[in-house]
Amino acid sequence: MKIVILTTNNIALIFDTETQIETRTDIDALIQEEFQVLLYDSAFYDLSVDTFLQKISLHIPCYPINSIASFDINNKQSMMKEIEKQMMAWSLKNSLYYIEHFYDLFSNLQKNWKQTPSLFIEEFAYVLKKIIPSSELKIIFNDTIQEENQKPQLVRKTYQGHTRNIIRDIKPQEEKLIELYKNPCESSFEIIEQNMEKKSLFIKIEIKQSPIFILARSFHYNQVTNAFLKGLVKALNTN
């Protein structure tokens, strides 16, 4: 997981919790970075931070934003425990929000599915980022391409990213992985692996018999989120 700490003088500290490496960069360069938590110094929030948040306004809902005053940044272990605690509360709050606004979300996803798989996946990934706190998210899905004077062809694509959205061709190692689970599920929702100690979450869903694989490096996946996703997949398959 990467934590960005916005300090004075337009400088951002990027702390990688896995490598324990801390780097510095200019705030304007953050738009190209992948990160999962944003902390800021409230002393200059109305200046540099406000400008930066406007630049990345589309991504703001995808991760928690909080004042640095809530954390002891000199004690990285303590800081991480508090961040994980807040991320769990944040994801639960988002899951409950989507349950409350289920029909609106379902209608939008259903409309996107009827247009193109890629459009559906981008919206679906946006939801997953808010309800599953993770440092990495991949979604492997079937897409269609059609060249001039040719019939549409089915291809596998991979969505990847957190603060950025990237849809690319599937890699050989990803192809090899999902070949193991390509057969139809007994149900449209199946958890293949859920190991929070290893930060591993692997879910296979099917929408209109089209398989979608969700791979997340996550430390938390609760029953509320699981029930919401199962209900959403069921609704998308019955309409």
List, for residues 21-40, the tens digit of each pLDDT value.
888 888 777 777 778 888 87
Amino acid in position 5: I
Q: Which of the pair, 117 or 165, is modelled with greater confidence?
A: 117
pLDDT at 77: 81
What number is the average pLDDT over the span 162-180?
87
What number is the average pLDDT over the span 115-134?
92
Confidence of residue 152 (pLDDT cuts 50, 70, 90): confident
pLDDT above 70 covers a percentage of the chain that reads 88
Confidence of residue 6 (pLDDT cuts 50, 70, 90): confident
What number is the average pLDDT over the span 91-101?
94
Per-residue pLDDT at 203 exceeds 90: yes
Exposure string for 12-47, b = 16+ CB within 10 A, e = fewer: bbbbebeeeeeeeeebeebeeeebbbbbbeeeeeee
Q: What is the radius of gyration, based on Cα positions, of the chain? A: 19
pLDDT at 230: 95
Per-residue pLDDT at 187 exceeds 90: no
CATH number of the 97-237 domain: 3.30.450
Amino acid in position 72: D
Q: Cα separations (Å) of 109 from 98, 196, 216? A: 12, 28, 21
pLDDT at 54: 62
Per-residue pLDDT at 159 exceeds 60: yes
Q: CA 134 to CA 148: how far, in whole Å?
A: 40
Q: CA 234 to CA 221: how far, in whole Å?
A: 19
Confidence of residue 81 (pLDDT cuts 50, 70, 90): confident
pLDDT at 239: 67
Q: CA 129 to CA 139: how far, in whole Å?
A: 11
22-30: long-range pairs with CB below 8 Å, 24+: 27/52, 28/52, 28/55, 30/4, 30/56
Alpha carbon distance, N-terminus to C-terminus of the chain: 37
Confidence of residue 50 (pLDDT cuts 50, 70, 90): low
Residue showing tokens 């004042």? 67
Confidence of residue 234 (pLDDT cuts 50, 70, 90): very high
Mean pLDDT of the chain: 84
